Amino acid sequence: MTRKRILSGMRPTGKLHLGNFVGVLANWVKLQEEYECFFEVADWHALTTGYEDTSGLVDDGLEVVIDWLAAGIDPKKSVVFVQSEVKEHAELHLLFSMMITTARLERNPTLKEQVRDLELGENITYGHLGYPVLQAADILMYRAHAVPVGEDQLPHLEITREIARRFNTVYDDVFPVPEPLLTKFARLPGLDGKRMSKSLGNVILLSDPPEAIEKKVKTAITDPEKIRMGDPGHPDICNVFAYHQRFNPDAVKATKENCLSGELGCVQCKQACAEAIAGYLAPIRERRAEFEGNKDAVFSVLEDGVIRAREAAESTMYEVRKAMKFFR
């Protein structure tokens, strides 16, 4: 039996952080065992929220790929490639753009949030509005059955599903309607308790050395009612405890009890947390250093990936053009 397919992607945002890892990447690594996986660097998507400064596209994309490989994405199992190198995505995006209304795209809650956060008002571009259409092209190009994403991407995926259904009904049954695959630990708070995000300056990077991790965890906001050692704490609302749960599983029970009783102070708790995170990341950091010293190995992964991605894309586009009667 052939394995089911997955496609997922990330924009070229530079070095990844623990939130990316917990929300998406760790899941990708596991899914490789079960699915045929395609992982793309969505460099065209990066332009939708800022097209002027493109100087970082290549380097930031490489950092992302290095983190993927370091975290355990295995190019022998999975196809790793860069979106802009597979031109078929542009063709499929154009065709899909005919099949969805602008009103539907304007109703997308993720878009509304961005318009609000970035204070775009009327200044939203045509490409930004079409972000989910490009994403639909990415996913459906590989006829993926499932898409591992973070929660924030669910509205986009809904648009992909609508486009797939519409295409299949209007023309011919070409696309599976893909399912989202959410991780159970989907959200890891940032050091300040907000969503972990580079723009908020509250991240721990996968590439951070132990000293940096220690320094950052020291600044983390804990239970505001626990002021000095002896005060009983509330682990359930503590960011540091959230990290313990994910990265220090053996000590979770004791940490919780000793925090609740007040016996464990935040300073000591943070120290143990930083050590656990650093220990967890040690093998990732080591592999990362190897790839950084051997960029040719990374380029060769991408060269091989784009060949395999193009092959799949050409075969889908043949079906699409045939179903749409561009030839007889």
> What x-and-dash track marks residues 286-325 binding ligand TRP by CB under 6 A?
----------------------------------------
- For ligand TRP, the closer of residues 149 and 278 by Cβ is 149
Judge whether 7 and 139 are in contact, CB under 8 Å.
yes
Q: Is 26 in the site for ligand TRP (CB under 6 A)?
A: no
Cα gap 181→85, rounded to integer Å? 26
Q: Is 27 in the site for ligand TRP (CB under 6 A)?
A: no
Among 10, 71, 284, 320, binds ligand TRP (CB under 6 A): 10
Judge whether 281 and 56 are in contact, CB under 8 Å.
no
User: Cα angle at 15 between 11 and 18, to 5 degrees?
Assistant: 95
Q: Is 5 in the site for ligand TRP (CB under 6 A)?
A: no
Restricted to residues 84-143, the positions that interact with ligand TRP (CB under 6 A) are: 135, 138-139
Among 45, 128, 226, 270, binds ligand TRP (CB under 6 A): 45
- For ligand TRP, the closer of residues 7 and 203 by Cβ is 7
Cα gap 325→328, rounded to integer Å? 6
Q: At what angle do helices 154-170 and 109-117 cross, to 10 degrees?
A: 140
Stretch that binds ligand TRP, among 6-14, 29-37, 209-217, 271-279 (CB under 6 A): 6-14
Binding-site size for ligand TRP (CB under 6 A) equals 13
Q: Is 7 in the site for ligand TRP (CB under 6 A)?
A: yes
Cα gap 143→164, rounded to integer Å? 10
What's the min distance (Å) between Cβ of 110 and ligand TRP? 9
Restricted to residues 220-249, the positions that interact with ligand TRP (CB under 6 A) are: none
Cα gap 282→163, rounded to integer Å? 43
DSSP code per residue over 147-170: EE--GGGHHHHHHHHHHHHHHHHH
Tokens of 268: 């000591």
What's the min distance (Å) between Cβ of 148 and ligand TRP? 8
DSSP code per residue over 99-152: TS-HHHHHT-HHHHHHHHHTT-GGG--HHHHTHHHHHHHHHHHTT-SEEE--GG
Among 27, 97, 108, 153, binds ligand TRP (CB under 6 A): 153
Instruction: Provide the binding-site residues for ligand TRP, judged by CB under 6 A.
Output: 7-11, 42, 45, 135, 138-139, 147, 149, 153
